[in-house]
Chains A and B, each alone.
Chain A
């Protein structure tokens, strides 16, 4: 199995993280990860980047925004006669 370069690894990083890489490519990527500490760190911290954005919402919706949305909708959304 030929070893892929760091550049090639980074190009396929999404496929690896999203688990959409075909079995053969996945093996090549894992072989590269095992041999390259830099790409291992980049891969690990990119995965953590995605996780932290899923877990912590930088812009939670304030309560009063929801209240004003309901007030705006109430004028329009009426039961049809």
Chain B
């Protein structure tokens, strides 16, 4: 590892990857500790199935270990891992939905369906709902999104990948990522507003 390569990776990721490539099991375990939750969450979001997400998690790290010698370090290790996980997740989706092919780069209807209908201020959702209820509401809303929107939303807004990284990982153009992210955000907002909007009687109480 050259000093410049280490400097480019202040969280020590590049150094860990280099050690793991040399066959240090502790280094690979550290990479697993770092990213397992994120990979599980991504797979769970795309496949919408807990069993499939677990399979994807295992296959992703097993494949990553196998193919580590071929990892060139041109991207972050994490985005390389995400690419494996996305491909594995799509295979699971295709297997479950034998009636139609699922591809994240299929053209999706991004037409005029995003015109907001629910326009209302929110109450504080964290005060109104328990953590368990919030999880349920958030899961239900995200499940209503088509898979291509879900993947873009999770990578951009939850994992905080850049637009360019998301485009590379999903084999999409940058404008396609932007369009899908906007549709995903607006659709989720619409769904969540049904749960979180301030009740009319509360508004009257304020008068």
A72 touches B58 (CB 8 A): yes
- Given known pairs A56-B138, A58-B135, the reply for A42 and B116 (CB within 8 Å) is yes
B54 CB–A CB distance under 8 Å: yes
A46 touches B185 (CB 8 A): yes
State which of B61, B66, B121 has its C-beta within 8 Å of the C-beta of A41: B121
B101 CB–A CB distance under 8 Å: no
B131 touches A52 (CB 8 A): no
A76 touches B65 (CB 8 A): yes
Contacts of B122 in A (CB 8 A): 44-45, 48
**Interface stretch of the complex, out of B25-33, B74-82, B89-97:** B25-33
Contacts of B57 in A (CB 8 A): 61, 65, 69
- Given known pairs A14-B185, A56-B138, A65-B54, the reply for A72 and B62 (CB within 8 Å) is yes
* Contact residues, B60-77 vs A (CB, 8 A): 61-62, 65-66
Number of interface residues of B (CB under 8 A): 49
Contacts of B54 in A (CB 8 A): 65, 68-69
CA distance A65 to B121 in the complex (A): 39
- Given known pairs A14-B178, A59-B40, A65-B57, the reply for A79 and B25 (CB within 8 Å) is yes
Measured CB to CB, the nearest residue on chain A to B20 is A77
CA distance A63 to B193 in the complex (A): 32
State which of A53, A59, A68, A78 has its C-beta within 8 Å of the C-beta of B25: A78
CA distance A42 to B116 in the complex (A): 8
What is the CB-to-nearest-CB distance from B121 to chain A, in angstroms, rounded to a whole number? 6
Chain A residues touching B, majority SS: helix
B119 touches A53 (CB 8 A): no
CA distance A76 to B53 in the complex (A): 20
Contacts of A61 in B (CB 8 A): 36-37, 40-41, 57
B120 CB–A CB distance under 8 Å: yes
* Contact residues, B1-57 vs A (CB, 8 A): 22-25, 28-29, 32, 36-37, 40-41, 44-45, 50, 53-54, 57
B83 CB–A CB distance under 8 Å: no
Contacts of B116 in A (CB 8 A): 10, 38, 42
Known: A56-B138, A60-B41. 9 other contacts (CB 8 A): A13-B186, A41-B119, A50-B157, A57-B135, A59-B45, A61-B41, A61-B57, A78-B25, A79-B23
20 contacts between A and B (CB under 8 A): A10-B114, A14-B182, A41-B120, A42-B119, A45-B193, A48-B122, A49-B188, A52-B125, A52-B138, A52-B192, A59-B40, A60-B41, A66-B36, A69-B57, A73-B28, A73-B29, A76-B66, A77-B25, A77-B65, A79-B24
